[in-house]
Structure 1
Amino acid sequence: MTKPIVAIAVMSLIEDGVLTLDDTIAEHLPDYADTDKARIRVANLLTHTSGIPGRQPLYQWNRARDELLTAIRRLPLLGPPGAQVSYSSPGFILLGLIAESAAGMPLDQLVAERVTRPAGMVDAGFASPPTELAVATEDDPWRGHLVRGEVHDENAVVLGAPAGHAGMFATLVDMEALGRTLCAQGWGAHGRVLTPAGYAAMITPRTDHLPLRRTLGWQGVDAVDATAGDLIGPDGYGHTGFTGTSLWIDPDRGSYVVLLTNRIHPNRENTAISRVRRAVNNIGFALASL
């Protein structure tokens, strides 16, 4: 669930005029100026239409931050930007770096100032949570121990510093605060996160000409096999997390459903989470309609 929260911070920067959807990777990350990724736009990164391959186990061959970032630069594109929706964690790693460049501050500080603090997400952040708030996830053979209270994503471990694709922690109370903020069109418990116009721009579908529906940073309700379930409205949007989490919002009804699990405990072979997500979302949105 890190990606959509980072996306909200990016949208806040766009509202302030320090970043635009048409800004390119090369404008903010000069090391990419002579690569095939130079002209990929911020909009492409937000909608997963950059063409940068996703789910790359770069950590297996690159054990230092600089090595991993170099490996991302060298990844061949799947196709031209905008041609397809292909979920890309490396794309969001770059988006996090672009956000830091535009804001002039570290990503964790940016997210705190722009999203979690005004939304009232008291315990949310990139720092490891207190032991009493952390649940065990995977018994990770790469690290040689049971992961608890540390970022699960291995590429994020190598990067070290907060990354745009993974590594945030939050409680149920935090995610409810985010859900209420989004249902209120960007107005949080402690201040405005986005203006109504910025919120509307964020949740507007951008890829309806392609098989998968994406907004700026969020997944829309796909026509087939939507994990959002059957009862969410057509304008619904949300996001899932690899470790077994999700947040779905129905803006027309002003309702949301949060699911937090540790489905990768003790390992990531549990694939039943898709059925669980649909069932829980159906129950949640049914109750919201009463």
Structure 2
Amino acid sequence: MIDQAFAPAAAAVADGHIPGATLGIVAADGRRWATTAGMAALVPEPEPLTEEHWFDLASVSKVIATTMMILRLAEEGRIDLDGPLTDAIPDLRQYDIAGAAERRLTFRDCLTHRTFLPAVEPIYTYGDDPARLRAFVLQREWKRGPPVYSDINYILLGIAIERITGAPLSDWPLGPGLRFGPPPGPAVATEHCQWRGRVLKGEVHDENAFALGGAAGHAGLFGTVAGVLEFAHGLLDGSGASAATLEAIRTRANGDRTAGWERRFPGWSGGDACSDATIGHTGFTGTGLWVDFERGLAWTLLTNRVHPTRHRDSGIFTLRPATGDAVIAAWDG
């Protein structure tokens, strides 16, 4: 099964579109499959990819870490999802308490990306002190626009978690094979960062997450294929999430978005063969996780498509759905 499912990724590696790829599949009954091909690094030194390598999960951090943290805090009664962010961050836009639209944003607004905040902002260009940059995020008057998928939403959620718990995100307990960086084992190389002047390996690729100290609400999580599969299995069999959390991440709340995740729609990253009860999320570095609750099946495609540069056509936007369709074909066949 795994060879058939991995065929699109194996071809992408063989054709030189991406340096390396790992595919992992897990069933609700606990059966697991994983395979890998290609290189963890091409430069400065070649390094073959193994299943033990840690990937920079990029925006998959949003669903494995931040979304789960926020929903847990809500279950514990420490936040109201429909309450304003100011319940946790009272100093948000504190110089315009009466008029700032940011002060009316709720936790659920940010979870489901239904805010007016921009998709991204080069926060790292405003300084190199994490505390000062958090203050910048909180006091900035953000330009208003239509709702979009936004890193800023999750940076705010990450700050809220830190305020509520009194600890950095990296202190939150995660399962084996998952942690905010640096990882404890061999790491997959990402980009030669022009800003940092080096090939990134074992440090977060996202510039804003790096500038914010390495762990932020939108990025910073590293994981092995086994770690990602263990998390996915916890969703499939209910051992890793409560009924309320599962309902929140599976229920559409803003178009095709749930709390944190996307739910299947035509032409999405998970392919067209999966059931309507499938959720998924991708990461800029070339990662992704999809969970088909109807089939009791989840898969993760982990690549280093930005190595050694993001400024090339890796074909990742066609590889992801092709892989999803191949996984379902292998499973159903």
Task: Calculate the TM-score normalised by the size of structure 1.
Answer: 0.86
Richer in strand (by share): 2
**Are the aligned partners of 2:181 and 2:202 in contact in 1 as well (CA < 8 Å)?**
no
CA distance in 2, matches of 1:50, 1:38: 12
Q: Aligned pair 1:76/2:142, yes or no?
A: yes
1:40 to 105, 110, 128: 105
Question: Which one is further off, 239-248 or 57-66?
Answer: 57-66
Q: Aligned pair 1:94/2:94, yes or no?
A: no
**Are the aligned partners of 2:191 and 2:310 in contact in 1 as well (CA < 8 Å)?**
yes
Q: Aligned pair 1:265/2:307, yes or no?
A: yes
CA distance in 1, matches of 2:216, 2:305: 22
**Are the aligned partners of 1:36 and 1:77 in contact in 2 as well (CA < 8 Å)?**
no
Q: Deviations over 1:114-166 (max 9, x none)?
A: xx23xxxx12101311352x011100110000000001111111111521111
Paired residue type of 2:248 = A
Question: Which one is further off, 60-69 or 146-155?
Answer: 60-69
CA distance in 2, matches of 1:130, 1:205: 36
RMSD: 1.7
2:79 to 15, 19, 27: 19
Q: Aligned pair 1:56/2:84, yes or no?
A: no
Unaligned runs of 5+ in 2: 1-59
SS at match of 1:237: strand
Q: Structure 1 residue 75: deviation in Å?
A: 4.3
CA distance in 1, matches of 2:248, 2:185: 38
SS at match of 2:222: coil
Instruction: Give 2:198's aligned residue.
Output: 145
Unaligned runs of 5+ in 1: 188-192
Instruction: Give 1:176's aligned residue.
Output: 229
SS at match of 2:301: strand
Report which structure shows greater RCO (CA 8 Å, sep ≥6).
2
CA distance in 1, matches of 2:130, 2:171: 20
CA distance in 2, matches of 1:123, 1:179: 12
Percent identity for Structure 1 against Structure 2: 35
Q: Deviations over 1:228-285 (max 9, x none)?
A: 1011111211100010000011111111110000000011123411111111111112
2:215 to 149, 158, 162: 162
Q: Structure 1 residue 18: deviation in Å?
A: 1.1
Instruction: Give 1:202's aligned residue.
Output: 249
**Are the aligned partners of 1:4 and 1:217 in contact in 2 as well (CA < 8 Å)?**
yes
Instruction: Give 1:233's aligned residue.
Output: 275
Tell me the number of residue pairs that the alignment of Structure 1 and Structure 2 aligns: 266
SS at match of 1:53: coil
CA distance in 2, matches of 1:234, 1:125: 30
Instruction: Give 1:190's aligned residue.
Output: none
